[in-house]
Amino acid sequence: MKKINPKIHHYEIDRYFHRFGSTAQFKNTELYHLIKNLVSHVMPSQKDRFDLRWFCFYLPVKRSGRDTCIPMSVVNYKNVFSIFLFEAGYFEVRQGKEVISPFYKKVVKEAMRFLSLIKQTNGKIVRKLVPYDYRVGKIKGRCIMEEIMSQKEKKRILFQYNRHVTKQRGLEKGCSLNEYLNTAAICYRAAYPSKTKEKTLLDMYNRFADGRHGGMLDIKNKNSKKGFMQWYNGSRWIGAHPFEIVFSWHEHGIHLYPPSKHNEWRYGLRVTNYAYAKDFIKMVKALFKHNIPFTASELKQVLDYLTGETYFSVNKYDKLTFNYIPSKEYKEKYFKYIEWEDLEIPRFK
């Protein structure tokens, strides 16, 4: 394998590339034309009426004394080029006379130099030099989770749920505020028994819920189904989160929707952040026990997750993510279970 002698060190990547959330924007005609020349040698990976995308470039980098290369992609939208470096960040380039650091030109020139090596080796150099922490793939949860639910328990819960849904009757007049809070309390006591001792309905809701109740707690007659339904059908709670009974900073936690015509006059239980998946299952079982009419449309997906059947994305931001670390421990424990995606090799013109 040919030596690539990278001219860029990894510490420079950390210094010059902006992490996602803050964009470096340049107006420099020379850099713009360097990128334009780079992409002119290969076919785009994707093309639509608005932009062209290339996911097949690689930047040679010296990391911890070793020669490596990092996946790099380019997007052309109208008169703007954007360069994305895997896990490092990106920058945008338009034409102009702005004075910029020579580092950014070096990035494009190095990618261009490495492109010729890719062509000479028919892509083999890419497959050899891209470290596995810069590759993406997927892995089943059972290979990385410390605890998983048994298939027997999963089948038992699904059987109970299907039987419950078949037999239950909807609450055609809906519920009152107190009835809603009481149902939420059933969920709270099941999931958090030590934190709900001697707590009132409002105490529990205020302790765990999102807090943006949209006027729900201000309903005057807390035992009136009509009063609750008038509030529900109004606009006061738009933009609020009155039914997120378990708050989560990441995505949403657990929702308990009140019975209405939208869910056949049954409560609706849903979990978004799977960090609360076990709590969600405890709530489901409690609603069985108290014979509360409800639906949990995503129950099977949650059980798939808890039994380890769901895939986690490897080295890619997703709902479920696993970050692979290139170490002896990770190689022995996880590598053989990861289904790695193929690295994209440029299709030369």
What pLDDT band is residue 2 in, cutting at 50, 70 and 90?
Answer: low
**In the chain, % of residues over pLDDT 90:** 84
- How many angstroms separate the CA atoms of 246 and 206, rounded? 10
Q: What is the arithmetic mean of pLDDT over 338-344?
A: 97
Q: Are 254 and 271 in contact (CB under 8 A)?
A: yes
**Dihedral of CA 301/303/304/305: which sign?**
positive
118 torsion bin: left (phi>0), alpha (psi -120 to 50), beta (else): alpha
Q: Is the pLDDT of residue 21 over 70?
A: no
Task: Say which range, 142-156, 228-242, 296-310, has the weakest mean pLDDT.
Answer: 228-242
Task: Map tokens 């997703």 to a residue.
Answer: 318
Q: What is the pLDDT of residue 262?
A: 86
Q: Is the pLDDT of residue 158 over 70?
A: yes
Q: Is the entire prediction scored with pTM above 0.85?
A: yes
Q: What is the arithmetic mean of pLDDT over 164-171?
A: 86
- How many angstroms separate the CA atoms of 109 and 117, rounded? 13
Nearest to 309 by CA among 274, 273, 342, 340: 274
Q: Are 148 and 308 in contact (CB under 8 A)?
A: yes
Task: Say which range, 213-217, 261-265, 304-308, has the weakest mean pLDDT.
Answer: 261-265
Q: Is the pLDDT of residue 24 over 60?
A: yes
Tokens of 192: 């958090």
Nearest to 299 by CA among 273, 313, 280, 318: 280
Q: Are 216 and 231 in contact (CB under 8 A)?
A: yes
> 321-322 and 24-27: which strand pairing?
unpaired
H-helix or E-strand containing 66?
strand 66-77
What pLDDT band is residue 170 in, cutting at 50, 70 and 90?
Answer: confident
114 torsion bin: left (phi>0), alpha (psi -120 to 50), beta (else): alpha
**In the chain, % of residues over pLDDT 70:** 98
* 237-255: burial string, b at 16+ Cβ within 10 Å, e else: beeebbbbbbbeeeebbbb
Q: What is the pLDDT of residue 18?
A: 67
User: Tell me: the pLDDT tens digits for 100-156?
Assistant: 999 999 999 999 999 999 999 999 999 999 999 999 999 999 999 999 999 999 999
Task: Say which range, 18-27, 98-107, 255-264, 336-345, has the weakest mean pLDDT.
Answer: 18-27
What are the distances in angstroms from CA 322 to CA 119, 168, 246, 336? 32, 40, 25, 14
Q: Are 59 and 114 in contact (CB under 8 A)?
A: yes
Q: Where are the alpha helices (DSSP H) in the chain?
A: 10-16, 29-39, 102-120, 124-129, 151-167, 177-191, 201-208, 225-233, 277-289, 299-306, 328-333
Q: Is the pLDDT of residue 65 over 80?
A: yes
Q: What is the pLDDT of residue 283?
A: 98
Q: Is the pLDDT of residue 20 over 70?
A: no
Q: Are 240 and 247 in contact (CB under 8 A)?
A: no
Q: What is the arithmetic mean of pLDDT over 253-278?
A: 95
Task: Map tokens 């009136």 to a residue.
Answer: 224
User: Tell me: the pLDDT tens digits for 35-63?
Assistant: 999 999 999 999 988 899 999 999 999 99
